[in-house]
Chains A and B, each alone.
Chain A
Amino acid sequence: MTLLQIIRQHPERPLLISDEGTFSPAALCRDAEKIRSLYPELAAANIALQFTHPAQLLLHLIALDGYARRILLLPPCLTGPAFENVISESAADFLLDATGLSTLGLDRPKGAEFDASEWLFTTSGTSGPPKVYAHTLCSLSIGVKPRQTPYCWGLAYQAHRFAGIQVIVQALISGSPLVASGTSETGKQAEYFLQNGVNALSATPSQWRNFLIHGSISRCSLRQITLGGEIADQAILSALRRQFPKARIAHIYASTEAGVGFSVTDDTAGFPEGWLGEGPPTDMKISDSDTLLIKSPAISTSASLQGRRSSDGYLDTEDCVRINNGRVCFIGRASGVINVGGNKVHPEEVENLVREIPEIQNATVNARNSSIMGQLVSLDVQAGALSDEERQALKEKIRQHCRAHLQNYKVPALINFVDTLEVAASGKLVRKGC
């Protein structure tokens, strides 16, 4: 089935609510057909889509799924050599954006029939140039039931991202309304979700912290809360539970490379130690260097993963874990550690500990270069408006709390108060120097 065929079966009610208009299934189908008839050259072609507004991207995706052979979902701001790289890696023949269709100058012969369109995603490219990986509607909708749910989904992620597309596919397949505003500003997004009756929302823990700090999300009657993309610490899980006593709260662990993921719904950080072994949910064990190993038939065979695969078929996720009171807790990425005079510090471990302090709204740990120790742990905290005396007292409280739970090299050497913490377009917290 294609997206268009699925949507056509849904009853008439608003399916896409956006600041570009509200669309029923029939309206979406009509617009999609219009796009197809406007661009006959896109039949069986490889096409790159680059739209800023989620509704525009969605309309074109509905039109082109099952029509174009390959659909590359480009980040709105991707330009220059990174853009050229991705275009050539995906062999895109055309670019479709807000200005219309342009040919990319490659006159390739059209291939044979194809079964399903490939949806191509780009990695965020924080380390090295962005790479392209492929899915189909079928692989994206594993586990999504086609029956109607009582949910109205808000789109907090950018639409072209893997996490955003997962929310979109979930809503479109189940026929649940999807609310997508063009803004990525936390406050405006929350207001828009509130106005349009959103009751199901998926976001990173960093985005959730910002939603809670902003406050207006608390007026949304959330029934489904999903956290993914970063470690969900106990502080954010408990804060969400206090705010939304009746919601189903799920934190997701997903390894794109291993092609597996699972969700945890017991309001506790990490996952039960009993899940290690052959599963369910999946075959996992812990390596000698304390990283999570996952075995899955779906493990990507990409050459770049060769060094991370063991002879018995496990993939090293490079996510460091620690067993604590019967739970397997994530403590951070194996890369991205801060090295204090030869001692390794996971920024996430310190951040999660600091967030246990009630006065702290949010915290980021950065690596600060040190001419003496190589690097030092530097902490930025967000704690609302405080007087100088209150700041001093809170600094001392942070230090005491950290000293009680951490080795001394992990205790933040420097503590700064900031008004806001930077969250990247991916919804993840930005750490400097790590």
Chain B
Amino acid sequence: MRALVLRLIEEVAESADCTLISEINDNTVLLESGLDSLGFAILVARLEEELGRDPFTENDEVIYPKTLGEFIAVYEQ
């Protein structure tokens, strides 16, 4: 999952013309990673294409992750 997310972050950054910060790890705050909110939306849509699910529409109580680690955790649930 982590590898997929990281690969798609790079792909989305390239396609959305965002420059990623040099080192991205679990503590990286998503919106400080270089992806803007549109890029983040595209990442979620691309993940849905790959995994067939969008965890942000599955629950009534959506928890929006702040860091990359939290983001991956949402998908691993």
Contact = CB atoms under 8 A, between A and B. Distances in A.
A403 B45 CA distance: 20
Instruction: Provide the main secondary structure of the chain B interface.
Output: helix
A341 B40 CA distance: 12
Contact of B15 (A372, A376, A399): A399
Contact of B56 (A372, A408, A413): A372
A372 B17 contact: no
A368 B17 contact: no
A396 B16 CA distance: 11
Contact of A341 (B15, B38, B44, B56): B38
B70 interface: no
Nearest to A378: B45
Interface string A81-108: 0000000000000000000000000000
A399 B15 CA distance: 7
Given A403-B17, A408-B17, A411-B16, A370 B49 contact: no
Interface in B23-67: 37-38, 40-42, 44-46, 49, 54, 56-57, 62
Nearest to A340: B38
Contacts of B57: 371
Contacts of B44: 370-372
Interface string A173-213: 00000000000000000000000000000000000000000
Interface in A356-394: 368, 370-373, 376
Contacts of B37: 341, 372-373
A118 B40 CA distance: 56
Contacts of B15: 395-396, 399
Interface residues of A, number: 17
Contacts, number: 42
B64 to A, nearest CB: 9
Contacts of A409: 38
Given A371-B54, A403-B17, A408-B17, A414 B49 contact: yes
Contacts of B42: 376, 413-414
Contacts of A399: 15
B41 A370 contact: yes
Nearest to A412: B15
Contacts of A370: 41, 44-45
Interface in A382-434: 395-396, 399, 403, 408-409, 411, 413-414
B49 A373 contact: no
B60 to A, nearest CB: 12
Contacts of B16: 408, 411, 413
Interface string A144-174: 0000000000000000000000000000000
Interface centre among A372, A403, A414 (most CB of B within 10 A): A372
Nearest to A396: B15
A413 B49 contact: no
A372 B46 contact: no
Given A372-B56, A408-B16, A414 B41 contact: no
A413 B41 contact: yes
Given A340-B38, A372-B44, A395-B15, 20 more contacts: A341-B37, A341-B38, A368-B45, A370-B44, A372-B37, A372-B40, A373-B37, A373-B38, A373-B41, A376-B41, A376-B42, A376-B45, A399-B15, A408-B16, A408-B17, A409-B38, A411-B16, A413-B38, A414-B46, A414-B49
23 contacts: A341-B37, A368-B45, A370-B41, A370-B45, A371-B57, A372-B41, A372-B44, A372-B56, A373-B38, A373-B41, A376-B41, A376-B45, A395-B15, A396-B15, A399-B15, A403-B17, A408-B16, A413-B38, A413-B41, A413-B42, A414-B42, A414-B45, A414-B49
Interface of A: 340-341, 368, 370-373, 376, 395-396, 399, 403, 408-409, 411, 413-414
Interface pairs A-B: 8 shortest CB-CB: A372-B41, A371-B56, A373-B41, A413-B42, A371-B57, A370-B41, A372-B44, A371-B54
